[in-house]
Structure 1
Amino acid sequence: MAVAGDTFSMSTLFDALPNPNGISGSVPPPGFAPRASATHLHAAMFNLMTCCDGMSSFKEMIASFDKTELQRMASLLTSDSDYFMAIVTNKHGSRRVQKLLGKSDDVDALFCDVILRRFLHITTDKYASYVTIRAMAVFDDKEMKKAMYEQILYYALYLARDQHGCIALNDIITDADDPYYKDQILDLVAYNALCLSNDASGNFVVQRVLALKDLRTMHNIAVSLRGHCFELSFKKYGSYIVEKLLEAESSMVVVVVELLECDGDRLMRLARNEYGNFVVCNALKSTKMSRIDLFWCLVQKLMPFIHLLRRSHGSNIANILESVKLRY
Structure 2
Amino acid sequence: MGTQSSFNNDGCHGDQIFKLRSYADIARLAMTQTGSQSLINIMVASKDPFAKDMIFTGVFGSIFEVMNDSHGYYVFGKLIESCNYDQLRHIVALMTLNTESLVSISTSKFGSKSIQRLVKVLEKSPLIYTLTLALSSVLGPLMTNRTGSFVILKCLNLLDTQKNEKIYETAERLCITLAQNEKGCIYLNEFITYSKTPYRERLMNEISSKSKLLSQDPSGNFVVQHVLGLHNPVFSAKICFELRDLYVKLSSQRGGSHVIEKCLNSSETDYVVNAFLKYEKLSQIARDQFGNYVIQTALKATKRANSPLYKMLLAKLKQNRNELMSGFGRKVLSFIDSGVPLD
Q: 2:87 aligned with 1:61, yes or no?
A: no
Q: CA deviation at 1:58?
A: 4.7
Q: CA deviation at 1:147?
A: 2.3
Q: CA deviation at 1:323?
A: 4.9
Q: CA deviation at 1:272?
A: 1.9
CA distance in 1, matches of 2:59, 2:74: 20
Secondary structure of 2:283's match? helix
Q: CA deviation at 1:67?
A: 4.8
Give the corresponding residue for 1:201.
Answer: 219
The one-character-per-residue Cα deviations of 1:77-110 (angstroms, maximum 9, x if unpaired) are 2232222122123233223212321222334223
Alignment of 1:138-153 (within 5 A): 138-140=158-160, 142-153=161-172
Q: 2:181 aligned with 1:159, yes or no?
A: no
Q: CA deviation at 1:238?
A: 1.1
Alignment of 1:1-328 (within 5 A): 4-5=30-31, 12-16=54-58, 41=61, 44-51=62-69, 53-54=70-71, 57-58=74-75, 61-62=78-79, 65-68=82-85, 70-104=88-122, 105-106=124-125, 107-140=127-160, 142-178=161-197, 180-249=198-267, 251-263=268-280, 266-290=281-305, 292-323=307-338
Q: CA deviation at 1:3?
A: 7.5
Counterpart of 2:236 in structure 1: which amino acid? M
**Residue 31 of structure 2 contacts residue 71 of structure 2 at CA under 8 Å; is this kept in 1?**
no
CA distance in 1, matches of 2:320, 2:141: 52
**Residue 228 of structure 2 contacts residue 262 of structure 2 at CA under 8 Å; is this kept in 1?**
yes
**Residue 188 of structure 2 contacts residue 223 of structure 2 at CA under 8 Å; is this kept in 1?**
yes
Cα distance change on mapping 1:145 and 1:323 into 2, 3 Å: same
Cα distance change on mapping 1:157 and 1:108 into 2, 3 Å: same
Q: CA deviation at 1:197?
A: 0.7
Counterpart of 1:57 in structure 2: which amino acid? Y
CA distance in 1, matches of 2:210, 2:89: 41
Cα distance change on mapping 1:244 and 1:3 into 2, 3 Å: farther
**Residue 17 of structure 1 contacts residue 73 of structure 1 at CA under 8 Å; is this kept in 2?**
no
CA distance in 1, matches of 2:29, 2:147: 21
CA distance in 1, matches of 2:120, 2:81: 15
Percent of residue pairs identical = 26
CA distance in 2, matches of 1:232, 1:3: 59
**Rg larger in structure:** 2
**Residue 77 of structure 2 contacts residue 114 of structure 2 at CA under 8 Å; is this kept in 1?**
no
Counterpart of 1:165 in structure 2: which amino acid? G
Q: CA deviation at 1:167?
A: 2.5
Higher RCO (CA < 8 A, seq sep 6+): 1
CA distance in 1, matches of 2:72, 2:303: 55
TM-score of the superposition, structure 1-length normalised? Answer: 0.79
CA distance in 2, matches of 1:280, 1:55: 57
Cα distance change on mapping 1:125 and 1:185 into 2, 3 Å: same
Counterpart of 2:163 in structure 1: which amino acid? M
CA distance in 1, matches of 2:316, 2:299: 12
User: Which range moves more in the overlay, 64-73 or 150-159?
Assistant: 64-73
Give the corresponding residue for 1:29.
Answer: none
The one-character-per-residue Cα deviations of 1:275-324 (angstroms, maximum 9, x if unpaired) are 11111011111122336332222112211333443443333421343256
| Structure 1 unaligned spans of 5+ | 19-40
**Residue 66 of structure 2 contacts residue 72 of structure 2 at CA under 8 Å; is this kept in 1?**
no
The one-character-per-residue Cα deviations of 1:244-284 (angstroms, maximum 9, x if unpaired) are 111134x2122212211222xx3222112221111101111
**Residue 190 of structure 1 contacts residue 220 of structure 1 at CA under 8 Å; is this kept in 2?**
yes
Counterpart of 2:273 in structure 1: which amino acid? V
CA distance in 1, matches of 2:235, 2:295: 23
Counterpart of 1:136 in structure 2: which amino acid? L
TM-score of the superposition, structure 2-length normalised? Answer: 0.75
**Residue 162 of structure 1 contacts residue 201 of structure 1 at CA under 8 Å; is this kept in 2?**
yes
